[in-house]
Amino acid sequence: MCLLFIFILSTLEICQSLAPRNVYTNHWAVRIAGGQEEANKLAAKYGYDNYGQIGSLEDHYHFHHSRVVRRAAFSTRGAHSFIHMDPKVDWVQQQLVKPRIKRYIKSYTRSPDSNFVHFNDPKWSNMWYIHCTDKNNRCRSEMNILAAWQRGYTGKNVVVTILDDGIERNHPDLAQNYDQLASYDVNGNDHDPTPRYDSSNENKHGTRCAGEVAAVANNSHCIVGIAYNARIGGIRMLDGDVTDVVEAKSLGIRPDYIDIYSASWGPDDDGKTVDGPGPLAKQAFEMGIKKGRKGLGSIFVWASGNGGRQGDHCSCDGYTNSIYTISISSTTENGNKPWYLEVCSSTLATTYSSGEFYDRKIVTTDLRQRCTDGHTGTSVSAPMVAGVIALALEANPLIGWRDVQHLLVKTSRPVHLKANDWKTNAAGHRVSHLYGFGLVDADGMVVEAKKWRNVPAQHTCSRMSERRTRYIRPDQTLNSTISSTGCAERTDQHVGYLEHVVVRVLIAHPRRGDLEVNLISPSGTRSQLLAKRLLDNSNEGFRNWEFMSVHCWGEKAVGQWTLELIDSPSSLRNPEVLGKLKEWTLVLYGTSEHPYQTQGTQHSRSRMLEIPSPSLEAPRPECGDQGCDGPDADHCLNCIHYSLGNLKTGRTCVSHCPLGFYDDTGARRCRRCHKGCEKCVGRTPTQCRSCRRGLYFNPLNATCSETCPAGYFTDDSKLGGLEFVQIYISGFIPFQKKSKKEGFEKGTEGLNLRDPCKLNASMGWYTVHYRPCSPHSKHSSYGYDHKALFWSRHSKLQCARICESCQEVVGHIVNRLFCVIGAVKASFWQLNHAAKFCSCIVVLCSFEQPHHIFPDQHVFLLRLPVGFSLYPEQFFLLFLVYLTLAWFQEIPKCSTS
């Protein structure tokens, strides 16, 4: 009995060590020169059907043979096999089934109790990873998606497609943004990506991922997508046999139309598989980054994997391990490592996702036009980042595939993510094997993307080790070194500053799971390329397998690189059989010059981290203890006093908060006042201390309003003297004739306004008299009924328009004209002072509300006689003259702000 038990255990061990059986399909990939017609002839000659070109791969065709067994354990022979010997066929490969696993977790769900709603979508209050609503728990929103939305970025004109088991294109939360041109059914060979329905709803995965990216906002259904105005498509390719042809086709669907491909699947996360893209899929990746998006490069986002419980390592996944993909990890709402998370050095960034049973999960769209609050795993994270990248592409459509990776490296932050291996590399980047460069920051992405300059061309420098076998002895460390100059001797290959580092190894080993592989850069940064995998009993070793690390990003390439191999034998193998390192190759990817500072030019205003060098300037006075990464105030990594958020240039360190902001001492941030306040002590409308131009300050409740409230009149004493505004409008203004009752009429000499808003076209001037608010007096009916038309330079605006009839007239004229050129001459009479003049021009064109003059714009005077007109070229020339004089301080500048 004991011998029988030992025999059974031995048999199981042998079975586990055997490679999984190949499954051959009745599909072939064939390379034929001569075009589609030649391919059709050869297909018919040998009994195949030609399914067309494989994605975007030229001269590669998908052949199918209906008389060959659909799935077989061996390759069948017959008349069709003679295609291998045809001289017109360059290459042919029968397709094998490639197991691919969707990276989500089946688990229980719970919904937080929250009534905080900004959108009318019913699940909005449950989207904890976008906004904070739960006052009972510590709430975090460091992904800053709301802030990106507030800047106006919602993914408009960006196309994202989900590579998965299909998407429910008629789902109420997806239908409005669904894009047929970004969709295809590779499994069914048609244009409808609708998933196959069954009782278990097995094919729900793609629909869930699609909702994260582009679910429609404010449609009273389900959720709000991160890029809720983006176009969303789906490639149905996981609901059937996945082969190299299927993957290559899917990766190559309309690369000039689709911007972002999101994939939340990969090889089996069982802790023992080493697998990646086949030769066709590799070509599809390369074709995408070279020719996709009209040469800017397709963007491929990949989930890092869910094999944490099986001790898997995502460096054994050739998709997340590729330099062409953006590998995304996950963290729980509290910044803990999820139980399913895999670690590896190729991970670029992280988003929130699910964790333990008590941690909240992700809400999204679900199959059969429903919603779910149970989306889980790293499947969540890839589409989240795809949505964030869509926001960045809206901010700057010209950024390339490598620019996107640079932006993620630069803007992602460690924040509260818990890991024992956080380190700072020699370029100053904080990085971890669990989380890459940290939690994505959507607001940081769009701010940096808006002002981004494309990085220099990618260079590749490759160096091979000596070709001699070195033994990997048990419980010992084998070090092998390569000394690199960064290919400085070859200008077309020179890598001065690193991006990706790839190590290609040829290793023979009796038990692959006992190996640990590390890479140490010349600057001392250690990347764990492979950790031990307890379930990996394979004796195949690594045959030209490529490991990839981003942990040296921004470092210099020159120096000695060390590959470190550690063999820790398990009890399941014979320790007398040694592993062998036969050869390894170091491949460095990067740029010859600094990616953020072109030689011979001024420093970029991007806040990218610089390579430390003795020539760096001292930190700015406003920078905190973390220093800076450039010479300007917006290059500080943290601030001594306050951080000021600016819509155009990002955050800047300041010693005090400017007008329109108040200081939040606890957070060291300048917070924006309510929209009417110039000075304030808080965000609410009742915390004003003074008002912006154009508004009255009401001392009774500390608010700002457009008119004086009942019981108040305009107070001259607050103004320091009377103020008059004179308005001039050029003649020959076309408009529709209206009745006198509507406030104006057409005259032969120009425009005449009826009382009480007269404007004599022959004179061209109208005088407005207005006062600030004061408590009620016998003149109150005169004071608080008035609204002024323009604002002046030397005092705050006290009114908005002179009277309702003027408002109707001016609004009608401006809204009807293609372009109105007017002018303002403001004269200021102050007690005991001579008259002072500030002349300004106002140009109003067909804006949405064209009669508004926007603050913070400098304007100047162009006085025109009545009936005189200018061509646009003449006006532009005068404007340039004005700017030139203003630059040299020759004429006074007049601002509307």
Query: Which are the contacts of 467, defined by CB distance < 8 A and separation ≥ 6?
Result: 582, 583
Distance of CA 606 to the CA centre of its chain: 16
Give the torsion sign (CA, 650, 656, 658, 662): positive
Indicate the SS3 state at residue 849: coil
Q: Which residues contact 832 (CB under 8 A, 6 or more apart)?
A: none
Q: Which of 27, 80, 205, 786 is catalytic?
A: 205
What is the rounded CA–CA span in Å between residue 311 and residue 321?
Answer: 17
Helix (H) or strand (E) holding 6: helix 2-17
Other residues' Cβ atoms within 10 Å of the Cβ of residue 582: 16
DSSP 8-state class, residue 895:
E
Helical axes 205-214 vs 378-395, angle rounded to 10°: 30
DSSP string, 522-575: TT--EEEEE---TT---S--EEEEEEEE-TTTTSB--EEEEEEEEE---TTS-T
| Bridge partner residues of 478 (DSSP) | 565
Task: Please report, for residues 151, 183, 302, the alpha-carbon distance to residue 260 in angstroms, rounded to integers and kept in the order given.
Answer: 22, 13, 11
For residues 340 and 264, what is the distance between their CA atoms, to the nearest angstrom?
14
Count CB neighbours of 553 within 10 A.
26
Residues 6+ apart with CB under 8 A from 31: 59, 60, 61, 89, 90, 91, 92
State the catalytic residue, choosing from 164, 165, 366, 441. 164
Kindly report whether the peptide bond that precedes residue 277 is cis, defined as omega within 30 degrees of 0: no
| 756 prior amide bond cis, ω within 30 | yes
Backbone angles phi, psi at 320, to 5 degrees: -70, -20
Neighbours of 711 (CB within 10 A): 12
Catalytic, 603? Answer no
Instruction: Write the single-letter amino acid at 656.
Output: H
Which helix or strand (DSSP H or E) is residue 671 part of?
strand 669-672
Q: In terms of C-beta distances under 8 Å and separation of at least 24 residues, what long-range contacts does 882-891 make, across chains too?
A: 886/858, 886/860, 891/860
Q: Could you say which of 56, 330, 379, 805 is catalytic?
A: 379
Q: Which residue has the tokens 């010693």?
A: 655
Query: Among this protein's residues, is 164 annotated catalytic?
Result: yes
Alpha helices in 396-470 (DSSP H): 401-411, 442-450
Contact of 488 with 592, CB cutoff 8 Å: no
Q: Please name which of 285, 283, 225, 241 lies closest in space to residue 261, comparing C-alpha atoms.
A: 285
Measured between its terminal Cα atoms, the distance across the chain in Å is 94
Residue in 344, 296, 338, 341 with CA at minimum distance from that of residue 322: 344
Q: How far is residue 168 from each of residues 213, 220, 368, measured CA to CA in Å?
A: 14, 18, 8
How wide is the angle at C-alpha 476 spanned by C-alphas 472 and 479, nearest 5°? 65
Tally of CA atoms within 13 A in the half-sphere of 377 that contains its CB: 25
Residue 460: C-alpha distances to residues 139, 195, 379, 469, 530 (Å): 44, 41, 32, 26, 23
In terms of Cα–Cα distance, which of 483, 269, 473 is closest to 377? Answer: 269
Name the token pair of 453.
Answer: 């300059």
Residue 145: closest CA among 162, 126, 130, 128: 130
205 is catalytic: yes
Instruction: Please give the Cα distance from 851 to 820 (Å, whole number).
Output: 10
The residues annotated with a catalytic role in the active site are 164, 205, 379
